[in-house]
Structure 1
C-alpha cells in the first residue's frame, strides 16, 4: 500500500519499437529499490498481449524487393567520422551484395558482396540511423528516410540470409 510517485526522468519516456523486436513481446518491470539498487518488496510487470509484428506496408515492400531480387534504391546519407553528413546517396541491396552510389544512377562509391560478418545494427538513439557492416573494418553509418530504417534493416538481413544459404 504505497504511494505512487512520478519519476521525473522517466516521465514521458517511451519504448521505440524496431525491427529487432519483431516476433517478441515487449514488457516492463517497475519496483521500489533502495539507494544501492536493491529491490524492496514486490515489483510490477506488464507486457504486450501479443508479439510485435511487421506493418503490412513494410512487409509488402520487403517481399516485393525479395521477389525482384533487388531493393529499389534507398535514399541514404552517410555519417562521416567528422560528424558531418554526406547526403544524396542511394543504397541498393541484393542477394549478391550492397551498392552505395552518388544519387540513383551516379558514381558507385562502394560495391561489395555479402560475407559471414556482414550485418546491420540499429541506432539506440536515432530512429532514422543504422550501421551497415559490409565486412570487417568496413562499416557504413547511415541515416535513412523517416520511417524506412526498419524496412532497410529487414532487407539487409533477408538478402544477407539468402546469400549465406546459397
Structure 2
C-alpha cells in the first residue's frame, strides 16, 4: 500500500523533505503524485502543460445575431432526435437525453466530461437513471458562444453513437 506524503512547502514548488501524513490533510496540503525528479525542471514542464491545454482555441465570445441564426437553427430544429431548446429564463440551450439504461447514460456523461476538460467548457447537467438533462451557456460572455454550439453538436454525435451500438 502506498503511503501518502505531505510536503511542507509553498504551493507550486516541490520539497525534497517529505513526511508521512499522520493527521488528516488540511486544505493547504500538497500531494506529490509524480517522482520528485519530475519537479526539478518545474517551470518548463508547466509551460509545456499550458501549451498542451491551449492547443485548441475555443472562443468564449457571445454569438452574433448572424451566428445565432445559422449555428442555432441546426440545433433548434423541430426534429425530436435533435431536441435542443432555448431556455426561457436566460441565454442558454437545453436538451434531455434518453438512453437504454444507467450504464449507457454514464458512458455518455464520461465522453462529455472528457470533451469538457479538453474544451475547458463544462455543461450544467442532471442525471437520473437513463435520463441526462443538459444546459449549455458560457458564463464568461453571459450567453451562448461557439463553445456551446460545438459541445451540443458533439453531444448529439455521442448520443447517436451510443444509441446505434
- TM-score range normalised by the length of the shorter chain: under 0.3
Give the TM-score, by structure 2 length. Answer: 0.26
In our comparison, the structure showing a higher alpha carbon Rg is 2
- Higher percent of residues as strand: 1
- Higher percent of residues as helix: 2
Give the TM-score, by structure 1 length. Answer: 0.26
